Amino acid sequence: MAARDSDRIRPDMPVTGDVVGEHERLQSERATMRGTESVRDSARRTAGSAERTARSALTGQKERAVSGLQDIVEVLQATGNQLRDHDRGSVADYADQLADRVDRFARNLQDRDVGELLADAEDFARDHPEVVLGGAFALGLVAARFLKSTSYRPQQDVRPYSGTRTYPGQTMPADAPMAEEPLPYQTGGTGI
């Protein structure tokens, strides 16, 4: 619909509150859109930077894993040779087969891009969620055991030896010989 001359703002017309309010609203919307675009651009740049950093870290981890696997291959091959030298040819064959499999896995890992490996891991997780959840549970148990074993424990109160041994129902001097027969409350050495 074409605007009529009477609907347009002319410089000689007095400006009403509705027109000023509409103008301010439009300016505010434009500023908001510019701010939103700026935030989106910043988020894209940050996400791109984070992705590059993660890919770089994963590539480094992949290279370390390949190096470790190649070390394992060398150890398995040396083990096979030593077993062969000691006339253990059948066991040496198993060591050689294992070395070949680990070597193939290491070469496959080395030849693949980090993106491919991540895609394969995602596909595996979608196809076998029970394995992923079971692995996460097992990893949680291992982490809990590790944290429990390394947690800070205050030293127990250490008291000097009092000179007497106390058993339920009896007290013996420290220099008294130990009973050869187990006391009634002792177990057969299992500690249970």
Per-residue pLDDT of the chain (192 residues; tens, 9 = 90+): 455 555 555 555 555 556 667 778 888 888 888 888 888 888 888 888 888 888 888 889 999 999 999 999 999 999 999 999 998 888 999 999 999 999 999 999 999 998 898 899 899 999 999 999 999 999 999 999 988 888 776 665 555 555 565 656 666 655 666 655 555 555 555 555
- 56 backbone dihedrals φ, ψ, rounded to 5°: -65, -45
**Domain-located, residue 60:** no
What are the backbone dihedrals phi and psi of residue 170, each rounded to the nearest 5 degrees, phi first?
Answer: -155, 150
DSSP at 9 = -
Q: Is residue 100 part of a domain?
A: no
- Measure the CA–CA gap between 110 and 133, rounded to whole angstroms: 27
In this prediction, residue 50 carries a pLDDT of 84
What is the per-residue pLDDT for 20? 66
Q: What is the distance between the alpha carbons of residues 137 and 141, in angstroms, rounded to a whole number?
A: 6
Tell me the whole-structure pTM to 2 decimals.
0.47
Would you give the DSSP letter of residue 165? E
Joined together, the tokens standing for residue 62 give: 């992949």
How far CA 97 is from CA of 76, 86, 94, 151, 161, in Å, comes to 9, 18, 5, 42, 60
Number of domains, the chain? 1
Cβ(176)–Cβ(165) below 8 Å:
yes
Residue 124 lies in a domain: yes
DSSP 164: E
| The pLDDT value given to residue 124 | 92
Query: What integer pLDDT is reported at residue 34 of this predicted model?
Result: 85
**Two tokens at 160?**
């000097």
Beta strands in the chain (DSSP E): 164-167, 170-173
If 0-12 CB within 10 Å is exposed, 13-18 middle and 19+ buried, where does residue 58 land? middle
What per-residue confidence (pLDDT) applies to 143? 92
Q: How far is CA 169 from CA 89, 130, 146, 165, in A?
A: 65, 56, 41, 11
Could you tell me if residue 181 is inside a domain? no
Residue 88 domain-assigned (yes or no): no
Q: Give a yes or no: residue 140 inside a domain.
A: yes
User: Residue 24 domain-assigned?
Assistant: no
The boundaries of the domain holding residue 134 are 116-149
Tell me whether residue 136 is in a domain: yes
Calpha distance 164→109 (Å, rounded): 66
